[in-house]
Amino acid sequence: MFERALFLTLVLLCCEAQNVGLLSSIANSTRYWMNDITKLPIVQQISKVSGDLLVQSVDVLTKIPLAMARSLDLNDVIFPLFTSDSNVVDLTDQIISEFNSGLDNEDITLNMSNLVTKYGYPIKRHQVTTKDGYILSMYRIPNNGSVVFLMHGVLGSSDDFVVAGPESGLAYLLSNEGYDVWMGNSRGNKHSRQHLVLDPSQSAFWDFSWHEIGYYDLPAMIDYVLQVTKTNKLKYVGHSQGTTSFFVMASQIPEYNSKISLMVALSPVAFMAHVKSPLVKLLAPGTPLLHSMMQSLGVDEVLPDNIASRILRRVLCGVGPLAEIFCSNLIFLFVGFDFGQLNVTNLPVLYGHIPSGASVKQLVHYGQGVVSEDFRQFDYGDSKNLDLYESNVPPSYNLKNIVAPVSLFYSEADWFTDPRDVDKLYKRLGNVIDVYKVPYEQFSHLDFLIAKDFKPLIYSRLRKLLRDV
């Protein structure tokens, strides 16, 4: 039963529906079943409170499969899907009006260059080729100040740092301060879908996780930036996977520590034993099965949108204005949202630029970390592990090798980065100079980029760090 449930979910997420009518019927049947459940008094009571209570409820349900997977090392233990809603709120006419008012914003369809130029900032596109042949695009808002390099999270791109607009977009704020702003793009996202010999239609193109992004992409981009700007060091700001890949680079290739004068980790993701995301926790025990199943189906990329994924969103989110507005983007199903800091009017712009694509292997690697409770290289199974690592177990990243100054920004309500995992990371890193807990109880994973109060809650602290270090 569990395997069949996971199989249906994966097909819906990653494959175009061959028979939309059949899948729609399945979706409708599932919705009727879930609607019956939602009529139960206890479920109705849960729906009236914050998403944190739901996370705690799902945590109880996921302890058994995760414990089995960890203790028995049986990663093929699968748990069925669970409806994931976050911060359920009373839907008002004002919310609908705010969302609809943003639908005519031309920023939704503008590409990166046109978007930045529209607001009066210069921008240049640069390309660099990694040692293993990937051609990556970077965007630069040139200035005379010191260099700041911004790196996005999983399913993100350089767009992440400008979609909030000139009032609170990080790239704009840094440029206003005189910094020479560079924004990277990892292999596989919409800006970096080229290779010297491979094509995105080939499975070999997608045979990478965030390990390769840290080991190949970041060094290539950082070396290029330093060469063009004729400087020896830069300041690095990463969000989510942008922190994971940095930890990979600085631990695996320690000489790059000397090229970083400061690393600021917005929602640092390394250890994930206490991840709150219900969807991640429910799928994590089955990541080996997920990976092999996707390979057998020829599905290597996490697609941002297709008919099948829209059906899945209907199953998970329901129907009606609330589902249409807050569940129309797959990212929210994984990371949740903080309604208090969400600019509803700007949501259409966000949806127009995020998600930007990723490999299945990236998400699988994160799932492995949830089960293993460790920060280590990709687990290929005993046989291939022996060939690659000379050990049945993948090696852990030696975080003590990271001696570049690091600042950790985290929050209590982040579904991907739990304070307990941040504390573990803090104790393992070689040179943490600053730890900052965002003073806002419901601050979420995406709020580190798009919060209404980004300037007082994030940028004021970041600005001081960049100036003083």
**Residue 56 sits in the same domain as residue 186:** no
**Residue 378 sits in the same domain as residue 435:** yes
String of DSSP letters for 151-189: E--TT--GGGGTTT-TTT-HHHHHHHTT-EEEE---TTS
Residue 373 DSSP SS3: coil
Does the residue 349 lie in any domain?
A: no
362 vs 6, more confident: 362
Give pLDDT, residue 321. 61
**Residue 12 sits in the same domain as residue 56:** yes
Domain that holds residue 238: 106-273+360-468
**Residue 261 sits in the same domain as residue 378:** yes
pTM for the model stands at 0.81
**Residue 173 sits in the same domain as residue 239:** yes
Does the residue 125 lie in any domain?
A: yes
Q: Which residues are catalytic?
A: 240, 445
Residue 66 has pLDDT above 80, yes or no: no
pLDDT in tens, 305-347: 445 555 555 555 555 565 556 665 667 777 877 878 989 899 8
Give pLDDT, residue 30. 43
**Residue 116 sits in the same domain as residue 139:** yes
**Residue 29 sits in the same domain as residue 9:** yes
Does the residue 130 lie in any domain?
A: yes
Does the residue 411 lie in any domain?
A: yes
Does the residue 350 lie in any domain?
A: no
Q: How many domains does the chain have?
A: 2
pLDDT in tens, 198-238: 999 999 999 999 999 999 999 999 999 999 999 999 999 99
Does the residue 402 lie in any domain?
A: yes
Give pLDDT, residue 193. 95
**Residue 167 sits in the same domain as residue 308:** no
Only one residue has tokens 């028979």, namely 19
**Residue 395 sits in the same domain as residue 457:** yes
The answer to whether 154 and 363 have CB atoms below 8 angstroms apart is yes
Q: Which of 58, 8, 43, 10 is nearest to 277 (CA)?
A: 58
Give the Cβ contact number of residue 124 at 10 Å.
Answer: 13
Does the residue 100 lie in any domain?
A: no
Residue 379 has pLDDT above 60, yes or no: yes
Residue 358 has pLDDT above 80, yes or no: yes
Give pLDDT, residue 92. 54
pLDDT in tens, 73-118: 434 333 333 333 444 444 456 777 888 888 899 999 999 999 999 9
Q: Range with the lowest mean pLDDT among 29-33, 165-169, 184-188, 397-401?
A: 29-33
**Residue 314 sits in the same domain as residue 436:** no
The answer to whether 68 and 77 have CB atoms below 8 angstroms apart is yes
First and final C-alpha spacing in the chain: 55
Residues 414, 417, 418, CA angle at the centre, nearest 5°?
A: 85
**Residue 157 sits in the same domain as residue 210:** yes
**Residue 215 sits in the same domain as residue 185:** yes
> Which amino acid makes up residue 464?
K
